[in-house]
Structure formats: C-alpha cells, structure tokens
Structure 1
C-alpha cells in the first residue's frame, strides 16, 4: 500500500491516513522503549511479530463479540484499523503482582492477587502515566461513569479471553494494559479495544519455568527480546512449530 499522510507517530507505531474515510493504517516499528522512553533500542523483527500477534488477539476478541478497531492485516508490518477517539487512559488489568504494584505495595512478584484488579493511568509520558482514581476520570471529563462501567466490563472480558488463550499454550497472563477508543456512527457511540495487544503490552510468564516472554526481557536485560516474542508466536500457532527463532522471523498467513 502506498504511503499516505502521517497522522501520528508514537514510540512503537505510526498511524497513516487510511484508504477510506474513517480508517487508518497502523504501522508497527522495531523500536523498543521502556521507562517512558528513557531506555531505547531497535529490535529487528519486533514490529513484524507485534503486528501479527496483535492481529491474532484482535480477531479473537472480535470473534467473541468484544469490539475492536481492527479491520484486517495489510502486510507484515501494517494493519487497517478504524479511526477512533482514544480515551486518554491506560486500562491495566492485574492477575498476579509484578512491576509497579509490587514496588508500591511490597508484594512479591508472582503472587496471585485475590481477584483481577483493574487500574487506570492517565496517558501522559511527561508525567510518567500516573495512576488515577475513577473520581479524577469523571471529574476531568475523560470518561463518564457509564463509560467507566463499560470499560471495566470490556477489560474483564479481554482478561478472560487472554488468560484462557495463554493458559492453553502454557503461559501465565500476569497483567496487561489496553486502550479504549470511541467510534461514532451518527448519534450512536460505541467503545472499542484500540491500539494493540502484544507482548509489549502484556506480562507473560512460562507456567512451568517462570521464564519471562514479554517486554520485561528488554526492561531488565534478561536476553533476546525477539526470541521471547517469537516463542509466544510459535506457541499460539502464529509461527510454524519447526521454525527456529531468528532476528528476522518467518511468519505464516
């Protein structure tokens, strides 16, 4: 697809004008960032893997009735998505303690939480994406109380789906974050899962060994990030089982 007008460039993706009104082309970069872009690198093949994995998860959600912005994959690095108004929140769902919640509350990483915990952070890198309570969200008009109720319902369904899919291939879903967008059709508005779902936005541990298969490999210098993401793709059937992980992974349609 010929390049069109660039709409937005983030840390891991670029959005271009789509071929039809109400659409965008989402391009996945190889850039890896952590700690609000304080740590950066280019990991060859990462964008290809995240494009294919996000397609897998978004299609799965669409198939069970959870609406997403995803329309179709265009090529190895691009997908066609619906244009939507992004709510300025990251919706974080935690099943086990890890990362910031372990530091904040002194809970050992890997501890199963009493129930899935949903947190919200305000999307602003310059502020470090601070956690915000629901009171702030409604007071500042980022989302209504009805929106929040619907977002929580969506987050729970996404968690159920992802947890089951991952458990089936021997992976424990520690936590994940999603973004939610608004799509308007005349006077009708609906909420959809937007952005991406990939090992960039999830914590994934091997059930038996505890090996990390997510961006913590990059954050904590635990090994080769492409190998970790390739292993997730292989287990999910996104890659053939006889393919040896490489810097330029071979993927199947």
Structure 2
C-alpha cells in the first residue's frame, strides 16, 4: 500500500503520506533509530510498532484532558491518521531533572532535580545540529509570536504534568522530553496543537528505583536492547499485554 501513496515527507523515524481525507496525513513509524543527528544509525526490529502504540496512548490521554493534538486515530500496527498542521520549526524541550546537554552545559550532575520544570527551544535544523535558541531569537526571526510562545509554554507544562503523573504511576521518572507544536487553521482562527509523536524516542525515562534507562539513551550509549526497553515501558503502561506469546489455555484473573 505504501508504494502507491504520495509521500509528503520522510524524517529519521517517520514517513508522512497524503491522508485519506483533506487536511489529513498518514504517519508511518519506521524501525530506524538515529542518534547524534543521525551520525549513529541502526534498524531496531519492532521499534516503529511500539512507538505507534505508545504515541497513540499518550495523544489519546492528552485529548481526554483537553490538550489539543494532531492525532485522529491509529490505522494499523505502524500507521496513524493525523491532522495536517503547519509545524513551528522548534523542538520544545521540558526538563524536570538534569540530563544530557544541560548537564554538559551547566556542569549539573545527571539526575539532579531542577528547581522547577525548565522549558527550552531548539531550532529544528539537522544540518546545524538543532541549536538551542532563546525566545528573543524565536520572535525576531518570526518562527512564533510572543502570544504563541506563551501558549506553547502552557501546552508544554500541561503535557509535562500529564506525562509525569502517568509515568510515575508505573514507577518511571520523566527526566525530560521534547514535543513539536503545529498550527491548525479553522477559517481565520488559528490554534496550536501538540504534533509529531510522544514516545521513548522523544523522552528520557528512568526506572524510579533502579535508575535503569528505558528510552533512546539505551541506543545512544550502548546500554542494551532498545526494543526490550520500549517493550518494558509499554508493558508497564498496559499498552501491551505482559506476554505477547499466544495463551494456550484459559487464564483465570482474580
């Protein structure tokens, strides 16, 4: 089916095809994993299926609490129908604990709780390495207005509250995450929605007790099997059954 559809865009982890109705796209999740702006690459069997299911779970949950997203419905194992949006060229990063680049920049030990959630922006450009930018840059270059940024921060913090609670309930610490924001027009009225995906590709997730990493750092830092880590996240959240193996006899559940 994929070959007959018109490809709109291909990124590192997903492909977008023309949707089935006007104003929609089909988002296909690949098994490709990349790190360090695609300097490190691999194909991880089953990653796309897990991220499709997990992103559906989070986007549906956000919709249920009134956070607008681009998600319409999951179509199959690897694809979901989404609203076509104009992506604001920023990665919106929310940090709850120090890890990765903020630890390097500021010399804060990884895992240190930050005084409050910190929202920062990177300019979406792989060739430049997605450089961090200030609000001043965002407004000066017209990527978003001050009103947009106020709304983006508000959306990002609501997503953070929701995700932190959901993960903490299954023994996972949400260290940080990134989202992308899109614009949707309704006539003259524009609204901002959470777009792209929410998955262990775009979050740092640590086991609360052991500190074990359950996100893409497993791949970045060669810490083991990425699919196992993502499967564990999905299992804890109840997105996958504990055992995908076929059950041969009836199981009694108390």
Short-chain TM bin: over 0.9
Displaced runs of 4 or more, over 4 A: none
Once the two structures are superposed, what CA deviation does each residue of 1:112-137 show, in whole Å capped at 9, x if it has no partner?
A: 00000000000000001000000000
Once the two structures are superposed, what CA deviation does each residue of 1:7-44 show, in whole Å capped at 9, x if it has no partner?
A: 00000000000010000000000000000000000000
Query: Size of the alignment, in residue pairs?
Result: 244
Residue in 2 that maps onto 1:249: none
Residue in 2 that maps onto 1:166: 167
| Structure 1 position 243, deviation (Å) | 3.9
Once residues 62 and 169 of structure 2 are traced to their aligned partners in structure 1, the CA distance between those partners, rounded to angstroms, is 16
Once the two structures are superposed, what CA deviation does each residue of 1:117-171 show, in whole Å capped at 9, x if it has no partner?
A: 0000000000010000000000000000000000000000000000000000000
Instruction: Trace 1:1-253 onto structure 2 (pairs within 5 A).
Output: 3-243=4-244
| Structure 1 position 185, deviation (Å) | 1.0
Once residues 171 and 244 of structure 2 are traced to their aligned partners in structure 1, the CA distance between those partners, rounded to angstroms, is 19
- Measured on the aligned residues, the alpha-carbon RMSD in Å equals 0.9
| Structure 1 position 234, deviation (Å) | 0.1
Once the two structures are superposed, what CA deviation does each residue of 1:179-228 show, in whole Å capped at 9, x if it has no partner?
A: 00000111010000000000000000000000000000000000000000
Once the two structures are superposed, what CA deviation does each residue of 1:220-252 show, in whole Å capped at 9, x if it has no partner?
A: 0000000000000000001112347xxxxxxxx
**2:133 aligned counterpart, secondary structure:** coil
Once residues 85 and 152 of structure 1 are traced to their aligned partners in structure 2, the CA distance between those partners, rounded to angstroms, is 18
The runs of 5 or more residues in structure 2 that have no matched partner are 246-254
Once residues 117 and 67 of structure 1 are traced to their aligned partners in structure 2, the CA distance between those partners, rounded to angstroms, is 21
Residue in 2 that maps onto 1:250: none
Once residues 242 and 22 of structure 1 are traced to their aligned partners in structure 2, the CA distance between those partners, rounded to angstroms, is 38
Q: Which structure has the greater CA radius of gyration?
A: 2
